[in-house]
Amino acid sequence: MIYIKDLKAGINIYKALSSEIRIQILELLANNQSLNLNDIATKLNLSNSVITMHVKKLEESGLIDINTAVGKHGIQKICYLNEEKLVIDLRNKEISNRYEVEIKVGHYSNYSASPTCGLATKDSIIGDFDDPRFFADPMRIDSEIIWLSEGFLEYKIPNYLKANQSFEEIQFSMELSSEAPGFNNSYPSDIFFYVNDIEIGSWTSPGDFGDIRGTFNPDWWPPHLNQYGVLKLIRVTRGGSFIDGCRISDVTLDDIRLNYQSEITFRIEVGERSVNKRGLTIFGRHFGNYSQDLLVRVLYQVQES
């Protein structure tokens, strides 16, 4: 996720997005994961020189990355999206204080898991498939992908606020999908979210995606298993709770009663409240399409003495 905290800091990105051709290039990469310059030129019916110019501007803005690879016709430049979500912060400039932590998906503090389920590091499966006992294995802290058909994962969120500081917003960003045996792109699952045991809302995952290989999956990961998810951004504010900008409940920070002394827990669950009970998968930095774990961002105010 590209997160623009200051409007002026995003000028290069705004310029890159001001061209219809560059928008078309981004759409192609979003649909195809990666393409070489010749492929893009052919699909847009434009010359390689024109495409090279536009691709350079997109690369300079940070929206795409370019790698070189040896192909049948020599060295090729392969283009792919650097990130697949762009968030521009238009909030009140007075809220300028924030901290951010990234928590490995295996660093859960509590769990419940029913088969099909499992965990894997970037190097190997932990234990055996469909055996919940391995969710307590010490190696689980190195997990980069976790899946379960029913249950929850709960994480402890560090609270770094001081006595003269107060919460203004807390955000959670993660890559999620459903959990089917193998994979199933049409497999809706109702995933619920809780902060300090208070339900803040839910999201229905469309499926457990495996039609194409996840961008960051290790080479050994089997092609018949789930490959990637959807990046979701959950925000709890003083005005309500939101996912990707859409209100999911009226629960506010005041309802959760967070202060500088609060313990903070965040739970992801498929359970009794789920009508579509088809599991969940959470992807870490070395799996899926986004190179991140559970990303938590806290915005706060400093009280004048």
3-state secondary structure 14-31: HHHCCCHHHHHHHHHHHH
CA distances from 29 to 79, 176, 213, 283, 289 (A): 8, 21, 14, 21, 13
Picking from 233, 305, 278, the residue whose alpha carbon sits closest to that of residue 87 is 233
**Which regions of the chain carry the CATH code 1.10.10.10?**
2-81
Which range, of 42-51, 85-94, 262-271, averages the lowest pLDDT?
A: 85-94
* pLDDT at residue 92 in the model: 47
Q: Classify residue 88 by burial, with Cβ atoms within 10 Å: 0-12, 13-18, 19+.
A: middle
- Averaged pLDDT, 25-30: 91
The torsion angle over the Cα atoms of residues 41, 231, 186 and 209, rounded to 10 degrees, is: 70
Judged against a pLDDT cut of 80, whether residue 191 lies above it is answered with yes
d(CA 305, CA 297): 25
Angle at CA 110, nearest 5°, toward 174 and 141? 65
Calculate mean pLDDT across residues 180-203. Answer: 97
Q: What is the mean pLDDT of residues 159-164?
A: 96
Intervals of CATH 2.60.120 along the chain:
91-302
292 close to 173: Cβ distance less than 8 angstroms: yes
Instruction: List helix spans (H) across 203-290.
Output: 253-256
pLDDT band at residue 175 under the 50/70/90 scheme: very high
Q: Can you tell me whether residue 44 is helix, strand or coil?
A: helix
Quick count: other Cβ atoms within 10 Å of Cβ 49?
9
User: For strand 189-195 and strand 165-177, is the pairing parallel, antiparallel, or unpaired?
Assistant: unpaired
Which of the four pLDDT bands, split at 50, 70 and 90, describes residue 89?
Answer: low
CATH fold of 2-81 = Arc Repressor Mutant, subunit A (1.10.10)
Return the pLDDT at 284. 97
Confidence check: pLDDT of 79 > 50: yes
Predicted confidence at residue 71, as pLDDT, reads: 67
- Third-level CATH fold of 91-302: Jelly Rolls (2.60.120)
Identify which of 248, 250, 267, 150 has the alpha carbon closest to the alpha carbon of residue 202. Answer: 248
Alpha carbon distance 77, 88 (integer Å): 30
Please report, for residues 30, 87, 185, 195, 199, the alpha-carbon distance to residue 252 in angstroms, rounded to integers and kept in the order given. Answer: 34, 21, 33, 11, 11
Residues 6 or more apart whose CB falls under 8 angstroms from that of 226 comprise 147, 177, 179, 180, 183, 208, 209, 210, 281
Structure-derived torsion over alpha carbons of residues 53, 55, 61, 67, reported in degrees to the nearest 10: -130
Beta carbons of 279 and 208 less than 8 angstroms apart? yes
